[in-house]
Amino acid sequence: MKKPNALLFVCTGNTCRSPMAEALWNAWDDVPRAQSAGVSAWSGQPAAPYAQEAVAAFGGDLSRHRSRDLSEITEEPDLILTMTRAQAERVQQLKPQWQHKTFVLSEFVGSQGDIPDPIGGDRDMYRAVAENIRAHLFALKARLQTHDRHQIQPEE
């Protein structure tokens, strides 16, 4: 896989984790643009209020976000990063042509485990999840910047 020009972050409903990843990532000027979707999203829903608040603390903006289902993605992304192993498997089932470029975010940057779902949690839970995602995004940014046009594969 060449260095990606378009990223897609995926979670379940596209109201918490993947929109937070999208907003935090797109707050940086020196990265390829990202979008987000859910594997079981009800289209048109705003981001969770605490998700909006959590990313705003880091310079992200979710005020205009509306959830989208994976089936609504029309432009093919170069790299698909999910919040959980189950979501990666679901993306690969729904979009088998994307199998070679779909990874769990944490695993792609050499970490372990799923990003926990804050849905139903309090403000502190959303803030902790945003910080977790942001740490993974810093690792992703560094990884992509050091891999010029070389192969992009998950960290071992």
| Whether residue 123 lies in the annotated active site | no
How far apart, in Å, are the Cα atoms of 91 and each of 18, 52, 57, 77, 100? 14, 25, 30, 12, 11
Residue in 66, 85, 117, 143 annotated catalytic: 117
CA-CA distance, 103 to 8, in Å (whole number)? 11
Residue in 11, 68, 90, 134 annotated catalytic: 11
| Whether residue 16 lies in the annotated active site | no
| Whether residue 124 lies in the annotated active site | no
Q: Which two tokens stand for residue 132?
A: 């977790």
Helices (H), the chain: 17-26, 49-56, 85-94, 105-108, 123-146
Residue in 17, 68, 90, 127 annotated catalytic: 17
The residues that are catalytic are 11, 17, 117
